[in-house]
């Protein structure tokens, strides 16, 4: 059970996001503090009944969290948490699934549009003061999305929203879902993971919006990339480890696929010597798909709903994990 409101302390842990400032503006009367680095988190986690966190989390913190009852994850992905360890310590966990569905789906679409309209090349030309002439080669021109096929791997909230956006642009959308019989209304066609191999050659854009699980780790490797059209693009707004990065670099270098829009990488930050930086057909953004001006407010809304549920003695949380 959570302590009463007048005895509760919330810890916000993030390197940059302004959670405490926005929380204080709500004037809830609840006590809170923010830590900006792992060292301060480790030193003060024993003060917290509630923890709002993502990247700073380490399961070694569990023994130090003597008062902790609830973690509101900042991210939709929760693969960094030991569910068994939290359950054994009596700590509840909820994800931020849905808090960034609009943001990440729009970011995925922005990557698709940027690659279709060759915006990275235009920006590079602008920096070099180059006015590109008209192009006779059809394969080298900017493209339109209408009539193209978008394959969305992972039809959760983000993937379903992206599917809706794709259909609004007159794209044909194929969704890949663990259970293709349920919740696939946003797509024109839905297949299971076992249907991915057959769907890849049909796609002009392959967008990854799936969680990282044992089934999706390394899902897009050399074999999958080899089944894509040479004119197709890969978009990764899921997790870096869903893609075999070495195989992707090789496919991009040898133009086995046309290009990639990458918001997540296997190791973050992306190493300075990563070959992805120098590939003209790769557009890299620094895991900013979900980072918008509304993000803190969206997560705080989830946290407050879950706190109210816990105070009412309810067992079910929104986006419950543990």
- Residues serving a catalytic function are 239, 268, 287
Contacts of 137 (CB under 8 A, 6+ apart): none
Integer-rounded Cα Rg, in Å, for the chain is 22
User: What pairs with residue 170 in β-bridges?
Assistant: none
Q: The tokens of 287 are what?
A: 């895991």
d(CA 22, CA 271): 33
Distances (CA, A) of 178 to 153, 155, 174, 175, 196: 10, 9, 13, 10, 11
* 3-state secondary structure (DSSP) of residue 39: helix
Helices (H), 63-147: 83-88, 101-116, 119-127
d(CA 41, CA 56): 8
Distances (CA, A) of 211 to 37, 145, 161: 26, 26, 15
**Crossing angle (nearest 10°) for helices 101-116 and 119-127:** 70
Q: Return the closest-CA partner of residue 162 out of 232, 233, 107.
A: 107
* 3-state secondary structure (DSSP) of residue 124: helix
Longest dimension (CA), the chain: 71
């Amino acid at each position: 059970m959570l302590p009463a409101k007048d005895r509760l302390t919330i810890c916000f842990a993030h390197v940059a996001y302004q959670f405490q400032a926005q929380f204080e503006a709500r004037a809830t009367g609840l006590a809170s503090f923010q830590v900006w680095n792992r060292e301060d988190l480790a030193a003060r986690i024993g003060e917290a009944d509630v923890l709002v966190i993502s990247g700073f989390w380490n399961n070694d913190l569990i023994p130090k969290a003597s008062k902790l009852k609830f973690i509101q994850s900042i991210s939709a992905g929760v693969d960094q948490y030991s569910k068994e360890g939290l359950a054994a310590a009596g700590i509840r966990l909820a994800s931020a699934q849905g808090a960034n569905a609009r943001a990440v789906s729009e970011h995925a679409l922005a990557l698709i549009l940027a690659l279709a309209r060759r915006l990275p090349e235009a920006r590079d030309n602008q920096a070099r003061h180059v006015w590109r002439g008209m192009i006779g080669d059809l394969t080298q021109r900017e493209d339109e999305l209408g009539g193209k096929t978008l394959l969305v791997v992972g039809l959760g909230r983000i993937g379903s929203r992206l599917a809706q956006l794709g259909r609004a642009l007159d794209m044909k959308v194929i969704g890949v879902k663990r259970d293709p019989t349920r919740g696939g209304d946003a797509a024109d066609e839905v297949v299971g993971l076992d249907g991915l191999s057959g769907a890849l050659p049909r796609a002009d854009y392959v967008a990854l919006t799936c969680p990282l699980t044992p089934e999706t780790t390394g899902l897009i490797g050399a074999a999958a990339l080899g089944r894509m059209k040479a004119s197709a693009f890969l978009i990764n707004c899921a997790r870096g480890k869903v893609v075999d990065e070495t195989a992707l670099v090789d496919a991009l270098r040898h133009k086995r696929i046309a290009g990639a829009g990458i918001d997540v990488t296997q190791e973050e930050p992306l190493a300075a010597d990563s070959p992805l930086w120098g590939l003209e057909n790769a557009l890299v953004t620094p895991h900013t798909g979900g980072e918008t001006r509304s993000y803190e407010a969206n997560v705080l809304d989830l946290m407050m709903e879950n706190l109210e549920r816990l105070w009412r003695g309810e067992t079910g949380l929104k986006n419950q994990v543990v």
